[in-house]
Amino acid sequence: MVWRKFVWVALFVAGAGALFSGCAYNEMVNAEEKIQEALSNVEVQYQRRADLIPNLVNVVKGYAQHEREVLIQVTKARASVSKIQLGGEITPAQIQQFMEAQDALTQALSRLMVVVERYPELKANQQFLELQAQLEGTENRIAFARNQYNDRVRSFNTMIRRFPKNLVASLFGFHPYPYFQAASGAEEAPKVGF
């Protein structure tokens, strides 16, 4: 008789454990899908920026033909960005490589904008102004998408580290996702001289 109670208790505990594991597993899968969605949103915004660049380069090229080196740098940086795709199992190294390419493109665009300052007629060009506004809006969208990705990563990483879900996470091979981080040197304010 006692052994039957023990069997029923053991079955109850095993069933409750299986139910909890299943629920925790499903929650982690949902959270991972949200991370993938957020990462896709980041990539879409970076792609939007990359798509604007050829038009911007063409407009600048018409005014600043002797600024060829800067235009070549922007074009090369854009090409290297388009080669890197995130997906599957995301590693910190992939995020780092992706961000280095994006940072190189950002720096090339910054050099391009410095060149633009030398050409007042270009700064007054309506097509250039529209492209510049779209690029600024895209940079804001990129920042928003990166923040959303980081929020989802934080939520997921916290979930898989807390007890008892950490047991389910390790059992099923869930691992922390890397964050997007600021570019190196971003902690220092730029020096502006007049």
What is the rounded distance in angstroms from the CA atom of residue 29 to the CA atom of residue 159?
11
What is the rounded distance in angstroms from the CA atom of residue 3 to the CA atom of residue 8?
9
Residue keyed to tokens 């660049």: 53
Helix ranges, 64-125 (H): 68-83, 92-116, 120-123
Is the pTM value of this prediction over 0.95? no
Task: Please give the angle made by the CA atoms of 83, 89 and 100, to the nearest 5 degrees.
Answer: 40
CB 48 within 8 A of CB 192: no
What is the rounded distance in angstroms from the CA atom of residue 57 to the CA atom of residue 66?
13
Examine residue 182 and state whether it is found in any structural domain, yes or no.
no
Hey, which of 83-87, 89-93, 132-136 has the most confident mean pLDDT? 132-136
Examine residue 189 and state whether it is found in any structural domain, yes or no.
no
What is the rounded distance in angstroms from the CA atom of residue 57 to the CA atom of residue 128?
10
Rounded mean pLDDT of the chain? 80
Total domains, the chain: 1
Say how far residue 13 (Cα) sits from the centre of its chain: 42
pLDDT at position 191 over 60: no
More confident residue, 191 or 155: 155
Examine residue 94 and state whether it is found in any structural domain, yes or no.
yes
How many Cα atoms sit within 13 Å of 70 on the Cβ side? 20
- Residue 98 one-letter amino acid: F
pLDDT tens-digit map of 140-172:
999 999 999 999 999 999 999 999 888 888 888
- Full residue range of the structural domain in which residue 120 is found: 2-172
Examine residue 187 and state whether it is found in any structural domain, yes or no.
no
Examine residue 179 and state whether it is found in any structural domain, yes or no.
no
Examine residue 48 and state whether it is found in any structural domain, yes or no.
yes
Examine residue 188 and state whether it is found in any structural domain, yes or no.
no
CATH code where residue 128 lies: 1.20.1440.20
Residue keyed to tokens 């018409």: 62
pLDDT value of residue 183: 64
Examine residue 194 and state whether it is found in any structural domain, yes or no.
no
